[in-house]
Structure 1
Amino acid sequence: MTRATGRWPKADPDSGVEDATLLILEWLGEQGVGAMIRVDAERIRDGRPAWTFAAGGGPLLEGMRADGRSVTECIGGALLKLREAGLDVPF
């Protein structure tokens, strides 16, 4: 068994945004934004985009949602929408 070296892993910029997802959620919470990401098994079975990101509160004037067929697509779309809403997400 390995010992934990810290609370959060360091994001690897070459491995994709999915590695930074928890860091993004934590940062949003620190800004007063409630956020979540989920996967819907029923939508997977139906061949629809199964990943959903939702956020609201804090500096967001209204809630927002982004969907995707993969966690990368979902979070990538969410980051674009968050930046359009004026949040400069540092990841």
Structure 2
Amino acid sequence: MATRRHRWPKTRDGIEDAALLILEWLAEQGVNALLRVDAERLAEGRPAWTFAASSGPLPHGIRADGATADQCLSRALAELRAAGITVPI
């Protein structure tokens, strides 16, 4: 499958700008993925952002949480790399 690197934005302030492209790329690899923000956890002062992925080439489901979208996605990318999937950002 062709990589769409020409669409990837230059990231200056974090990876939030690339979130939708990361999700799209994962779907193209057969991975089910989501990025979620939970208003209740935010109000309680807990990490409100969650990334979850499963299926495709993943040997097991993964989850990453963070206080910000950037923190959550950074942790998610580390989890994906540990599972053998390197997202081309």
Pairwise same-fold verdict (TM > 0.5): yes
CA distance in 1, matches of 2:36, 2:26: 16
Letter in 2 for 1:18: E
Deviation at 1:61, TM superposition (A): 0.7
Unaligned runs of 5+ in 1: 1-8
Q: TM-score under structure 2 normalisation? A: 0.89
What's the TM-score, normalizing by structure 1?
0.87
The one-letter code sitting in structure 2 at the alignment partner of 1:31 is Q
Structure 1 or 2, whichever has the larger Rg, is 1
Residue 57 in 1 paired to residue 55 in 2?
Answer: yes
User: Following TM superposition, by how much is the alpha carbon of 1:16 offset from its aligned partner in structure 2, in angstroms?
Assistant: 1.4
Corresponding residue number in structure 2 for 1:4: none
- Of 9, 13, 20, the match for 1:15: 13
Counterpart secondary structure, 2:46: coil
1:15: Cα distance to partner? 2.7
- Quick one: which of 65, 68, 71 aligns to 1:67? 65
Percent identical among aligned pairs is: 58
| Structure 2 gap ranges (5+) | 1-6
Cα deviation code 1:8-55 (max 9, x no counterpart): x75122231000000000000000000000000000111000000000
| Aligned mates of 2:35, 2:69 — CA distance in 1 | 9
Contact 2:8 2:21 in 1 (8 A): no
Structure 1 counterpart of 2:4: none
Aligned Cα root-mean-square deviation (Å) = 1.1
Q: Secondary structure at the match of 1:79?
A: helix
